[in-house]
Amino acid sequence: MLKPKAHVYIFLRQNQKDLRIEFYRGLLDALECRAHNENIRTGKLIILPSSFQGSPRHMQQNYQDAMAMVRKFGKPDLFLTFTCSPSWSEILNSMEGVQRPEDRPDIIVRVFNMKLKELLEDICKHGIFGTVLAYIYVIEFQKRGLPHAHILLTLDSESKIRTKDDIDKFVSAELPDPCTDLRLFQIVTKCMVHGPCGTININSPCMRDGQCCKSFPKQFKDDTEANVNGYPIYRRRATEPVQVGKYSIDNRWVIPYNPWLLKKFNAHINVEVCASVKSVKYLYKYVYKGHDAASVKIQKEGALDHDEILSFVEGRYVNAPEAMWRLNEFNLSHKSHTVVRLAVHLPQQQPIVYQDGQEAQAIERAALRKTTLTSWFELNKNDPSAHNISYSDIPQYYVFDKSTTNWKKRQRGGQNVIGRLPVVSILDSERYYLRMLLLRKSGAISFDDILTVNGLRCITFQQACQEYGLLRGDQQWHDALNEAAQFQSPRQLRMLFAMICGFGEVEDVPDLWVQHQVSLCEDFVHRYSEQTGPHYALADIEELLTSYNLSLQKLHLPTVDLPASVLERANFDVVEEQAKANSYTMQLNSEQRNVVEILLSAVYNNAADTPKCYFLDGPAGTGKNFVYSTLLHTIRGRGDDVIPVASTGIAATLLIGGRTAHSVFKIPIDLNATSTCNLKPNTKEADMLLKTKLIVWDEA
């Protein structure tokens, strides 16, 4: 897999020194700042651009593109997971001799790609769910090698799934009657039964602290409920159990499916209804979370490197089917609409790509070439029909010719094109206010035209916003949080809230908190409760405000006093940790698995005679860090606290969420015979240690 891609990596790496772009200057500044704080020199800065398919930047750009589709078409209506089946006849009939499907990843990916195209044709062209307005899909690969696709569908208004009858029409979560449809019954019992787990099978990989992380078995339900906290509860009537293998199962164990799709494709196809906009961000974040990787950091002493290519290549987990998928250049992700990313820059501040020593020529070229924004100004000067079209909508009617850097009127296909303005931080204030004006003003012919309001030329874009009445009271901050809430996580929203309080002139901070409390607390409410969630969110905001020399009390917000362990836990998503724990556990060898089981038993066994201190030893390459990571993900996935520490800073970076022992235990840097830890009782740090389930100390 790496050899065919090696020339791409080599090109990107070799051109890092020659090619410079102003867009990355901020990253270099951040690297230099961090190196200064750590009293070491700046090392290499190697970037893996968003143009490389599957890179973190590529996935983030795709996520933003998908959210642009949500802003235009609304929330998705259906979420499908389509998994390749190794028992498809097309795969089995292609085997030669004693070959098994796992021996032919080339056949597996080709067959799955064809099946996926057929599935999308049934959905989008034949309309089995109704008229599809928009869709996206992303391909992932299981550790056992089988590819699967996550698909999100948005239906038109006439096809929307609104009532329980609509849900029952397309989705079933019950075992079919074998007397009336034996084939469907056989497929459901083979492909769509969860586990079973719980008391029936306590060793199931979905079990977390005695409970199923997928909440199986579900409750019996005589009728479907369309929307319960943003999610539907499907009909699961109480029926006589049936024997599936060595287990007796009933409707409580059935994964939701569509009967027609299941009978046609004879594979695992989970179909879920998206009942409310509440779950939208999490669905898209899940779909675009990126591919499997293991983080490894090796750094020269005294130098701070930022090498994204090395991290991507050496941290990748690529199985044979994924390698074949990439070699065949099949799409790892796809969306129904083209999203055009539009430039938002200040006068004379457009990004310029240049080579060292050729700055003058680059400036001359930049003067001749227009960006999508400056070309829009030219279009409005020369084409009166464009005057009523906003900048964000212009790609629907015009296409940007990169060779001439001009907008040209579309001849066809504009209905499948969406324009997207990039997100701009409020710290970049003038660009932030320019973006605000571009979203509202059409027909502008220059930056000066945007700055001119009622014949008066404003000095700044912020002043222009004020003249247009866009900054009355705290409305701009409400708008910023409302827009960000469409695509940012609650943690990112809290960071934005703290930033607004620190740099914005907010008239009524308590009202800003009250108006956006639901979005700011969403993750904590989901994890804990509606009563305690806001307290956890405020504790996190309190921590963020310290960077701006502010506090909840100074801003007249409710004050809280929660243990530091809350803030440690805030940085980890329980669902993600559970998924990682599953993945890591499946990769353990027998010796590693035995170690993990012994340690987990010690963590959760409160008996007085259970040993609580273990020493793990082994030569390099035996997977000690992998065992540590499995423990960290497993315990965090159960909602508990774990503290990974190491004696050195470099070793600490190898542990997820790791810190130095000096930092956690307040150990003095310069030790002598009378040194003591400066950890005081009745502090947040002490409380965190008391509440943690496990301390992992590497290089102890």
Q: What is the pLDDT of residue 30?
A: 47
Residues 92 and 54 in one domain: yes
Q: Is residue 411 part of a domain?
A: yes
Q: Is residue 475 part of a domain?
A: no
Q: Is residue 412 part of a domain?
A: yes
Q: What is the pLDDT of residue 26?
A: 42
Residues 553 and 584 in one domain: no
Q: What is the pLDDT of residue 27?
A: 39
Q: In whole angstroms, what is the distance from residue 83 CA to residue 150 CA?
A: 9
Q: What is the pLDDT of residue 436?
A: 93
Q: Is residue 191 part of a domain?
A: no
Whole-structure pTM value: 0.69
Number of domains in the chain: 4
Q: Is residue 536 part of a domain?
A: yes
Residues 85 and 167 in one domain: yes
What sign has the CA pseudo-torsion 20, 22, 27, 29? positive
Q: Output the six-digit token pair for 379.
A: 């279009």
Boundary (domain end) residue, out of 409, 440, 468: 468
Residues 548 and 596 in one domain: no
Are 273 and 77 contacting, i.e. CB atoms less than 8 angstroms apart?
yes
Residues 653 and 690 in one domain: yes
Q: Is residue 524 part of a domain?
A: yes
Q: Is residue 284 part of a domain?
A: yes
Q: What is the pLDDT of residue 583?
A: 78
Q: What is the pLDDT of residue 126?
A: 95
**Quick one: DSSP state of residue 340?**
E
Is cis: bond before 217, omega within 30 of 0? yes
Residues 34 and 101 in one domain: yes
Residues 36 and 131 in one domain: yes
Residues 583 and 629 in one domain: yes
Helix (H, G, I), strand (E, B) or coil at 242: strand
Q: What is the pLDDT of residue 291?
A: 52
Q: Which residues contact 275 (CB under 8 A, 6 or more apart)?
A: 226, 227, 228, 230, 231, 232
Residues 629 and 642 in one domain: yes
Q: Is residue 548 part of a domain?
A: yes
Domain range enclosing 391:
368-468
Residues 583 and 671 in one domain: yes
Whichever domain contains 622, its CATH number is: 3.40.50.300
Residues 523 and 668 in one domain: no
Residues 403 and 454 in one domain: yes
Boundary (domain end) residue, out of 569, 587, 606: 569
Neighbours of 649 (CB within 10 A): 14
Task: State the 10-residue block means of pLDDT for the chain, 700 residues long.
Answer: 53 52 44 50 50 66 82 89 95 93 94 97 96 92 82 93 93 95 95 85 70 84 82 91 88 96 97 71 59 46 49 64 90 90 88 62 69 94 93 94 92 87 86 93 94 93 91 87 83 91 88 93 77 86 84 89 53 76 83 88 81 80 80 86 73 63 71 69 70 80
Q: What is the pLDDT of residue 36?
A: 52
Boundary (domain end) residue, out of 500, 535, 569: 569
Helix (H, G, I), strand (E, B) or coil at 688: helix
Q: In whole angstroms, what is the distance from residue 377 CA to residue 371 CA?
A: 10
Strands 269-273 and 78-83, bridge-based pairing: antiparallel
